[in-house]
Amino acid sequence: MKFAYGFSNLLGTVYRHGDLNFTRDGDAVVSPVGNRVTVFDLKNNRSNTLPLATKYNIKCVGLSPDGRLAIIVDEGGAALLVSLVCRSVLHHFHFKGSVHSVSFSPDGRKFVVTKGSIAQMYHAPGKKREFNAFVLDKTYFGPYDETTCIDWTDDSRCFVVGSKDMSTWVFGAERWDNLLYYALGGHKDAVVACFFESDSLDLYSLSQDGALCVWQCDTPPEGLRLKPPTGWRADLLQQEEGEEEEGEEGEKETTVRGKAAPAEHEKAGKVKYSRLAKYFFNKEGDFNNLTAAAYHKKTHLLVTGFASGIFHLHELPEFNLIHSLSISDQRISSVAINNSGDWIAFGCSGLGQLLVWEWQSESYILKQQGHFNSMVSLAYSPDGQYIVTGGDDGKVKVWNTLSGFCFVTFTEHSSGVTGVTFTATGHVLVTSSLDGTVRAFDLHRYRNFRTFTSPRPTQFSCVAVDCSGEIVSAGAQDSFEVFVWSMQTGRLLDVLSGHEGPISGLCFNPMKSILASASWDRTVRLWDMFDSWRTKETLALTSDALAVTFRPDGAELAVATLNAQITFWDPENAVQTGSIEGRHDLKPGRKELDKITARHSAKGKAFTTLCYSADGQTILAGGMSKFVCLYHTREQILVKRFELSCNFSLDAMEEFLNRRKMTEFGNLALIDQEAGEENGVEIPLPGVKKGDMSSRHFKPEIRVTSLSFSPTGRCWAATSTEGLLIFSLDTQMLFDPFELDTSVTPGRIREALRQQDFSRALLMAFRLNERKLAQEVLEAVPPDEIEVIGASLPELYVDKVLEFLASSIEGSRHLEFYLRWTQSLLMSHGQRLKSRAGQVMPTVQFLQKGLQRHLDDMAKLCDWNRYNIQYALAVSKQRGIKRALESSRTEEEEEEEESSSDEDSLHLLREAGAHDDDEEEMLV
């Protein structure tokens, strides 16, 4: 089995904090999610997370005008130059301070960052290779407080900067002779946004108290005059006029200083601004802070977001209200408009919401929200197409693994969800919660059709469903009992007593109706569901059990205990077959306020979740750490360790104590810089894992709460503090030949193709294991010879061809061709494949996932065509009845046309039905 799993996608969280941006074509939204960046393709309904991560949470993102480059800056001031075309990091840079905003000039030659009370202009990285992609050009001084926002003129000659000191400054990208840098006042609160008008130096400034100032400039952009060079530059210009540009390039960065209130004689003959009007968003008596704004210059559309979750659309400069809407209960953190001005994106960091609104039709293009509290559990559907997650916020969300979007949210639980699982059919979802209920949801009608409760109110900590889907069981935290219900009737069948501690985990044997229950009383009990629910075996452990799981074939049981061990048991004979000591592999980090080292704190850490791979050869383990460990079950060795996060904005990430934070008065982490003169941070009580959300200084601890392998075996998912992370096999980058020798080369394979020796070419292609070459050979086989070549394949190569078909069928246009190959292999090798079903099952599940997706798409298309044909027939009949007196044609001609149209429609319906039947046969 391959172990080259790499980060694939981030689900469960769609927006955390930072700037939202639309791509150049306006079809995709770039959203910062923690220390990663996700691109939501609204046209193709896909979401992809870029394979990069910053050291801290991302604060601002700036996109170049051509849409090829992005500058991503985190809270610490570290920046990444990213290519959005090849999805890779091109350059690392550190701005030596916290950056508030980044903006490229419209011509793409410069970009400006606001850092502290200054603005810095850099040469934008070009298409050529450069040793240093970030070259500082000018530093602009002027504001007394932090700078907050930037906007450029359309010709890239000037830019405007807003500040927290309630002033707005207009700076020139070049040294303009008649542009004097001074402060524009008029506000009573911090400036949130400022925008230039199209092809003009007129600008608008908006402050936090909901005031809009309209500024008019007496000079057009063409009226700006370049300042003539002085000193050594003038002498150099007189000597060699041709070398002026080289002199400019060789010059180091220059400093530009503005004056808040210049003298009157200095203003003479200079560009002058005057305030035309001042408007207020809040009515008298309202105190609604303005938090974000965006302006579309072509349509003169101003969008403003407020702390109460309301947004306004105004037309400038008349300040006409187009419409107003409340979209959230929390503050709107970021607003963006696409190039056409049709779609508006809103980000709400409090609830983790991302909304895209089409204001003309007043409809949502995208409406996504993650779990605003930590995710606790997850489960894959049997075909691997969906992932369900449960969170502490009481919500159950179902995610599509292909698109990355959540398509249904269940909110029936009134407290945190502790466990989620699918039935074997994949149509029913069962969840347990601390509110004392276990609920079953129907994924066809999206409703809660069963609610299971206990005779006495109790909090359920875990849930399990047997392989038939008829028996539902849940473990209690406070009564130490296991409750068993019938899915059909919803009645309580039995209460299994015997444990002396809270139930920490439940798992049914996939092959038999045997339930394993793990408890803090240092035992795992096996219950036989068909033998009056008696205890079959009791497995004694050396420490408290935290998680239990069966191998997919049901022949082995794995238990994670509090002493960081994983023990393996034979459930038939109740004999321990092996153990893994995982304390050193877990490698937990050190919290900011810990008084002990990470090595000593590891003594209290353990694995809290386990999951077998699809073939049962390996097992995943995760817990109170940023690492997930992959062990080989038979050899009982660590195969690979995956690091889920490198985000130091989370707690327990440091391996060693940072001595710079230790002072004679104590740890600097105890001082909350944002709290002002109030008290510092409250020290959390021992055992607190999630952080105190009511305190100002909220830093959640990194941990892994749940793990699950996909039934296809190609990927696995983990719920952590970061969100729902998916790791998959990146087969495109691997060269993994099979039984390779010197006679197998691409030239020999193509020569065999030319000689029409397809069997030999196919075997050689799969021995070389080059994907493109295998696809070329497979698609070169004539359809008439597929059955013969498929039957002649050696059994060793059948699995490889099936796996290749499963991975190709998802994105290929040759659907019928690949279906023929699949049918041929399953018909001719079905009995031999059935004899080793355990090994082949992940490949078959992967194949079924692709076929099911195509079946759903084809069924929708065929239904749509069928309804359209029926509608056209009905309309034509009605039209014929109404115009019977007016028509000049004979009744016989009409009958012939109707009969021919009926035959055509029936012929089309037969073809659609045949397609459906073929695919259903493949699935069976």
pLDDT, tens only, 815-860: 888 888 888 888 888 877 777 776 777 778 778 878 887 888 888 8
Distance (Å, rounded) from C-alpha 160 to C-alpha 169?
6
Is the pLDDT at 353 greater than 80? The verdict is yes
Is the pLDDT at 533 greater than 70? The verdict is no
Task: Say what the pTM is.
Answer: 0.79
Give residue-wise pLDDT tens across range 104-161: 999 989 999 999 899 999 998 876 666 677 889 889 998 888 999 999 999 999 999 9
| Confidence band, pLDDT 50/70/90 cuts, at residue 266 | low
Distance (Å, rounded) from C-alpha 313 to C-alpha 286?
18
Give the mean model confidence (pLDDT) for residues 897-905. 46
State the CB neighbour count (10 A cutoff) for residue 31.
Answer: 28
Is the pLDDT at 184 greater than 80? The verdict is yes
pLDDT at position 763, please? 83
Is the pLDDT at 899 greater than 80? The verdict is no
Give the mean model confidence (pLDDT) for residues 634-650. 88
Do 299 and 252 meet the contact criterion of CB atoms below 8 Å apart? no
pLDDT at position 833, please? 79
pLDDT at position 535, please? 65
Higher pLDDT, 269 or 160: 160
Give residue-wise pLDDT tens across range 644-658: 888 888 876 676 666
Distance (Å, rounded) from C-alpha 719 to C-alpha 609?
10
- Distances in whole angstroms, Cα of residue 666 to Cα of each of 657, 671, 712: 13, 9, 52
Give the mean model confidence (pLDDT) for residues 341-350. 91
Distance (Å, rounded) from C-alpha 30 to C-alpha 641?
30
Beta pairing, strands 135-141 & 254-257: parallel
- Identify which of 22, 59, 69 has the alpha carbon closest to the alpha carbon of residue 42: 22
Is the pLDDT at 70 greater than 60? The verdict is yes
| Confidence band, pLDDT 50/70/90 cuts, at residue 208 | very high
Tokens linked to 501: 């501690």
Is the pLDDT at 241 greater than 80? The verdict is no
Higher pLDDT, 285 or 325: 325
Give the mean model confidence (pLDDT) for residues 527-539. 76
pLDDT at position 916, please? 45
Is the pLDDT at 585 greater than 90? The verdict is no
pLDDT at position 911, please? 46
State the CB neighbour count (10 A cutoff) for residue 876.
Answer: 13
pLDDT at position 381, please? 92
- Identify which of 120, 117, 119 has the alpha carbon closest to the alpha carbon of residue 165: 117
pLDDT at position 36, please? 92
Give the mean model confidence (pLDDT) for residues 314-326. 90
Residues 6+ apart with CB under 8 A from 809: 815, 818, 819, 822, 847, 850, 851, 854
State the CB neighbour count (10 A cutoff) for residue 420.
Answer: 26
Distance (Å, rounded) from C-alpha 516 to C-alpha 843?
28
pLDDT at position 396, please? 95
Q: What share of the chain is helix, strand, coil (3-state, %, to 5)?
A: 20, 40, 40
Is the pLDDT at 495 greater than 60? The verdict is yes
State the CB neighbour count (10 A cutoff) for residue 229.
Answer: 16
Give residue-wise pLDDT tens across range 856-893: 888 888 999 999 999 999 888 887 665 544 444 444 44
Do 150 and 119 meet the contact criterion of CB atoms below 8 Å apart? yes
Tokens linked to 770: 């080059």
| Confidence band, pLDDT 50/70/90 cuts, at residue 61 | very high
Do 125 and 174 meet the contact criterion of CB atoms below 8 Å apart? no
Query: Among 36-50, 189-203, 281-295, 610-624, whose mean pLDDT is lowest?
Result: 281-295
Is the pLDDT at 17 greater than 90? The verdict is no
Higher pLDDT, 675 or 666: 666
In single-letter form, the type of residue at position 581 comes to E
Residues 6+ apart with CB under 8 A from 200: 153, 217, 220, 221
pLDDT at position 283, please? 78
Give residue-wise pLDDT tens across range 756-765: 888 888 888 8
Do 214 and 277 meet the contact criterion of CB atoms below 8 Å apart? yes
Distance (Å, rounded) from C-alpha 226 to C-alpha 174?
7
Tokens 């069981």, located at residue:
473
φ, ψ for residue 28 (rounded to 5)?
A: -135, 150
pLDDT at position 243, please? 39
Do 777 and 746 meet the contact criterion of CB atoms below 8 Å apart? no
Tokens 């007016």, located at residue:
886
| Confidence band, pLDDT 50/70/90 cuts, at residue 813 | confident
| 368 burial via Cβ count (<10 Å: 0-12, 13-18, 19+) | buried
- Distances in whole angstroms, Cα of residue 214 to Cα of each of 279, 284, 418, 615, 879: 8, 21, 54, 67, 60
φ, ψ for residue 249 (rounded to 5)?
A: -70, -35
Give the mean model confidence (pLDDT) for residues 265-274. 76
Distance (Å, rounded) from C-alpha 136 to C-alpha 110?
10
- In the chain, the percentage of residues whose pLDDT exceeds 70 is 82
- Identify which of 582, 679, 668 has the alpha carbon closest to the alpha carbon of residue 625: 582
Rg over CA atoms, the chain: 33
pLDDT at position 337, please? 95
Do 527 and 495 meet the contact criterion of CB atoms below 8 Å apart? no
Give the mean model confidence (pLDDT) for residues 174-200. 88
- Distances in whole angstroms, Cα of residue 188 to Cα of each of 203, 210, 262, 283, 363: 18, 10, 21, 16, 36
| 639 burial via Cβ count (<10 Å: 0-12, 13-18, 19+) | middle
Do 511 and 467 meet the contact criterion of CB atoms below 8 Å apart? yes
- Which residue intervals of 567-640 are DSSP H helices? 583-586, 598-601
Is the pLDDT at 908 greater than 50? The verdict is no
Give residue-wise pLDDT tens across range 451-475: 999 999 899 999 999 988 899 999 9
Give the mean model confidence (pLDDT) for residues 240-249. 39
Distance (Å, rounded) from C-alpha 193 to C-alpha 887?
68
- Identify which of 735, 809, 821 has the alpha carbon closest to the alpha carbon of residue 780: 821
| Confidence band, pLDDT 50/70/90 cuts, at residue 256 | confident
SS3 860: helix
SS3 586: helix
pLDDT at position 778, please? 84
Three-state helix/strand/coil letters over 645-683: CCCCCCECCECCCCHHHEECCEEHHHCCHHHCCCCCCCC
Peptide bond just before 51 cis, omega within 30 deg:
no
pLDDT at position 547, please? 94
Do 586 and 598 meet the contact criterion of CB atoms below 8 Å apart? no
Residues 6+ apart with CB under 8 A from 2: 729, 731, 734, 736
Tokens linked to 557: 């049981």
Do 568 and 556 meet the contact criterion of CB atoms below 8 Å apart? yes
Higher pLDDT, 818 or 901: 818
